[in-house]
Amino acid sequence: MHHGEYKTVGGKLVIADFRIRDDRLCDVSVSGDFFLEPAEALENINQSLEGLPATASQEAFAAAILRALSPDVEMIGFSPEAVAIAVRRGIDES
Strands 74-76 and 24-32 turn out to be unpaired
pLDDT of residue 10: 83
Domain spans of the chain, in order of start: 2-92
Phi, psi of 54, rounded to the nearest 5 degrees: -65, -15
Q: For 78-83, what is the mean pLDDT?
A: 97
pLDDT for 30-71, tens place per residue?
A: 999 999 999 999 999 999 999 999 999 999 999 999 999 999
Rounded to 5°, angle at Cα 6 from 2 and 56:
55
pLDDT of residue 74: 96
Please report, for residues 6, 49, the alpha-carbon distance to residue 83 in angstroms, rounded to integers and kept in the order given.
8, 10
Separation CA 93–CA 15 (nearest Å): 14
Tell whether domain 2-92 is in CATH 3.10.129.10: no
